[in-house]
Amino acid sequence: MTVRRIMGLETEYGISVPGDPMANPMFLSGQVISVYAAAQGIRSNQSSWDYAFEDPLRDARGWQLDRQSADPSQLTDVEDPTLANVVLTNGARYYVDHAHPEYSSPEVTLPRDAVTWDRAGDAIALESVRLLAARPGQPPVNLYKNNTDGKGQSYGTHENYLMPRRTAFPDIVRHLIPFFVTRQVVCGAGRVGLGVDSRGAGYQISQRADFFETEVGLETTLKRPIINTRDEPHAVADRYRRLHVIIGDANLFDVAGLLKVGTTSLVLGMIEDGYLTQDWSIRRPVAALQSISHDPSLQATVELADGRVMTALDVQWLYLEAAQRWLELRGDDPEPEATTEVMALWGDVLTRLGRDVMSCAGMLDWVTKLQLLEGFRSRDSLAWDDHRLAAVDIQWADVRPEKGLVHRLRDRGRTVDLVTPEQVRVACTTPPDDTRAWFRGTCVRRFGAEVFSASWDSVVFDVPGHTSLQRVPILEPERGTRAQVGTLLEESVDVTALLRGLATPD
């Protein structure tokens, strides 16, 4: 594969009630999700999550973590009936995760689609806030697409990429760590403050960099690793591996989001093909991650294992140039236009960053935010530790158009958008048509009353007249597409007819 692969994004939204720092975030997150689900005709006890095949303690390095040894935050396969957890008609999962509303996008195959359904999550978060605000006596609840509250807490934006199981995990680690350490210059979200509690004065490229402590590990909320080893494929286990990436930031700009998933998919393709034979390992990668983030001038250097000293841009160019050579050798790209778009933007952005960082304003989150903040600093003579800049940082990520600064920039034509508002609107309720998300989402839309639960790899029906639940496995991510089952889903008058049709050989 090149840029085409099964992929998806997860976003935990920051949540607050202005003027009430003691508000219960878990209760509020449940309200946010339940009010949206109800408006879509999805009951709180309907279309919940199927945990039957979840296994969050399986480690890609070849072992299983004992449940008694695991931190409670790692036990994501335990259902909590008090927390909202629904499947939406667009195939996404919308649920409470670690006291935050989380939107996990449906599976897609192309970077532009990843951006589209990710932005659909932002629109869903906005609609949730609006619906909640319409309740009489309801205090205002705000959601923010960011990764830290500026007071020491961080919450994740995770990426997921399906890979062949045959790809050796040590190769993944060796080649991805230098890429992830330096990728932030393209897709960082920008942040006021240095250190986990933001007490250090300054501005940095990444919201998440300061919260990482180790190179490789199974955890996601403590001892955060650059490479996460959770081996939970949500697909045929002996065929696929799902790479769970926890090091990225939440992006509000289309170009940064597209490059985040598109360049990663290209690097994974090179790893899968065994093309990357050079070792670009970075000495002390966690420290390098943070030193790069703390220097928005992009002059910070890292030392490679072979002794070379390079900037983050230098390392990114190594990967880009390797990808160019690899693509020329392959010549069998199933999605050449999508690959060409990613490669062109990757080269353009790296060139711009090398000449003038601010020339990427409107394209990259961290650069555009820095430009805005520098305007405030210049106008009001503000130091980086001024609380007004921290407030601007939070307001930047507000999902509400009348409050969020990115929305205002978009309205003024100061962002480079790749996805139209209409495409986002459609993606809020419609699943991608070229993955199993089509089957999952359409089942919720057509037969919601009979969908007992669902997951990435199954839909479970409570069929009238049957004494047991009926599980339909969807372990192949590219099965259950619109082309394969669209007609059957639309023509089936009820679930019984659907199951009968699924059981009939082609």
Q: Is residue 328 one of the residues assigned to a domain? A: yes
Q: What mean pLDDT, rounded, does the chain reach?
A: 93
How much is the pLDDT for 266?
Answer: 98
How many structural domains does the chain have? 2
How much is the pLDDT for 74?
Answer: 61
DSSP string covering 323-384, please?
Answer: HHHHHHHH---S-HHHHHHHHHHHHHHHHHHHH-GGGGTTT-HHHHHHHHHHHHHHHHT--T
How much is the pLDDT for 484?
Answer: 97
- Is the same domain home to 16 and 115? yes
- Sheet with 85-87, strands from edge to edge, namely 85-87, 93-97, 100-104, 7-12, 157-164, 240-245
Indicate which CATH number applies to the domain containing 42.
3.30.590
Q: How deeply is 279 buried, as exposed, middle or buried, from its count of CB atoms within 10 A (0-12, 13-18, 19+)?
A: exposed
- Is the same domain home to 323 and 433? no
CA distance 343 to 348: 8
Give the rounded percent of residues in the chain with a pLDDT score beyond 70: 93
- Is the same domain home to 375 and 489? no
Q: Which distant-in-sequence residues (6+ apart) come within 8 Å of 346 by Cβ?
A: 186, 259, 262, 263, 320, 323
pLDDT per residue as tens digits for the range 103-141: 999 999 999 999 999 999 999 999 999 999 999 988 889
- Is the same domain home to 395 and 466? no
Q: Is residue 454 one of the residues assigned to a domain? A: yes
Is the pLDDT at 57 greater than 80, yes or no? Answer: no
| pTM (2 d.p.) | 0.94
In 207-311, alpha helices (H) = 254-272, 285-293
Find the helix packing angle between 254-272 and 169-187, rounded to 10°.
Answer: 160
Q: Which of 383, 402, 426 represents a domain boundary (last residue)?
A: 426
Q: Whose CA is closest to 190, among 472, 46, 394?
A: 394
- Is the same domain home to 12 and 104? yes
Q: Is residue 1 one of the residues assigned to a domain? A: no
pLDDT per residue as tens digits for the range 293-318: 999 999 999 999 999 999 999 999 99
pLDDT per residue as tens digits for the range 67-99: 666 566 665 655 565 678 999 999 999 999 988
The parent domain of residue 493 ranges over: 427-503
- Two structure tokens written together for 439: 């089957």
DSSP string covering 248-273, please?
Answer: PPPP-SHHHHHHHHHHHHHHHHHHHT
Q: Is residue 2 one of the residues assigned to a domain? A: no
- Is the same domain home to 397 and 469? no
How much is the pLDDT for 60?
Answer: 76
CA distance 475 to 267: 25
DSSP string covering 111-146, please?
Answer: HHHHHHHHHHHHHHHHHHHHHHHTSTTPPP-EEE-S
Q: Which residues are catalytic?
A: 97
Q: Whose CA is closest to 183, among 308, 14, 365?
A: 365
* Segment among 44-58, 385-399, 484-498 with least mean pLDDT: 44-58
Residue position matching structure tokens 């960011």 = 146
- Is the same domain home to 213 and 276? yes
pLDDT per residue as tens digits for the range 187-223: 999 999 999 999 999 999 999 999 999 999 987 777 8
| pLDDT grade for 466, boundaries at 50, 70 and 90 | confident
